[in-house]
Amino acid sequence: MDYDNLKIQIKTFFGLETVLAEEIKKLGGRQVEIKNRAVNCEGDLGFLYKINYAARTAVKILVPLFEFKAFDEQKFYDRLLKFDWSAHMDVEQTFAIDATVHSERFTHSQFMTLKMKDAIVDFFRKKTGRRPNVNPKNPDIKFNLHIDRQHVTIALDSSGEPLFKRGYRCEQGEAPINEVLASGMLQIAGWDGKGNFLDPMCGSGTLLIEAAMIALELPAQLFRKHFAFQNWKNYDETLFRKIKEFRINRIKAFDGKIIGFDIDPKMLYAAKANIAKAEMEDVIEIKKQNFFESKKEHFPLLMVFNPPYDERIAIRFEDFYKKIGDTFKQNYPNTLAWLITSDLEAVKKVGLRPSRKIKLYNGKLETRFLQYEMYEGSKKEKNTESQPFNT
């Protein structure tokens, strides 16, 4: 493998591909190409370390090792048995395999994972007389198996635990938003740390923490303890330390306000605990506040939020969204607001036409990320006035 010219595949969530591609370009990626739920690029070993540490919308970062076509399980096994696995792991190291299979010929991902495991174990047994052990929970080396019809791709997982596991969440609510999705939403909304930010229904505080990390230019994985690439045979500890130091030296001051509202004491407790774990108490302000009784206090203001699911609210969804719209119109003039929802009928009760609609997935739930622009005075005046977030 040429570690100066690695082919890299970066997994993300549906709808965030363009955001991730822009991140990768800014971080120095070459030959950036957008795929479905992924971005492909090229870079050296230091770049691989950097994107694991700093990319906010990456879920998993893979380095393809080899590809081939297999038409039955025996050919699949035979081809894997011929590969030199010792170039990427030692027999003393444990390993695990993540598999994704889309094939009429190979229909059972667990069976194909087992065949790959057998091939790796048999390779080492023939080469050394010993066998490596599988550790599905905390392996030293993690491989990725992808089968699309007859096409097989084997890759090294450089991340290990998914990159949305930032390391700052110690408490969560009933429907917490994923950290990668939260960061992607903020970037779509245009949050760059200039101005002020409000999450009026903040839950356990994920959007607030991700907003603060963007504002301060904190690396996305500042609190992460370990990456899979640190177990690789060619791991360069000095290089990774220099990359971390460089990213940390980019941290900047933030003089705006990042504020979260919630009315649920449990959510306020969870948010405060997570903010403390992220060491953001001096940056993020939490208030016990009913959004429907609040008024705009900071200018300019960007608002992004994930309204709670109906098990957390004792009113009908239609009334709830109508109150959101009324509060937008009456109490938040000259504001840009974004919300994510899976209830596309109830959200019509907001009573405002969204200026942007973006399809995203919150877990397996199909949602829309909606932008609302509130102007003071008639809408006709907006062409002669500055945009809401810049007011």
Rounded to two decimals, the pTM is: 0.94
Contact present, 218 and 183 (Cβ < 8 Å): no
Residue 137 DSSP SS3:
coil
pLDDT tens for 90-107 read 999 999 999 999 888 887
Residues 6+ apart with CB under 8 A from 5: 42, 44
Rounded-to-integer distance, Cα 196 and Cα 217, Å:
15
Concatenate the DSSP letters of all residues of 278-297 into one string.
TT-TTTEEEEE--GGG----
pLDDT in tens, 121-147: 999 999 999 999 999 999 999 999 999
Given a cut of 70, the residues of the chain with pLDDT beneath it are 173-175, 309-316, 377-391
The mean of the pLDDT values for the chain is 93
Residue 346 has what DSSP assignment? G
In the DSSP assignment, the letter for residue 134 is B
> In this predicted structure, what is the pLDDT of residue 384?
42
CA-based nearest residue to 95, from 227, 228, 224? 228
pLDDT digits (tens, 9 = 90+) for 247-284: 999 999 999 999 999 999 999 999 999 999 999 999 99
List for the chain the helix, strand, coil content (%; round to 5): 35, 25, 40
Q: Check residue 308 and give its pLDDT.
A: 85
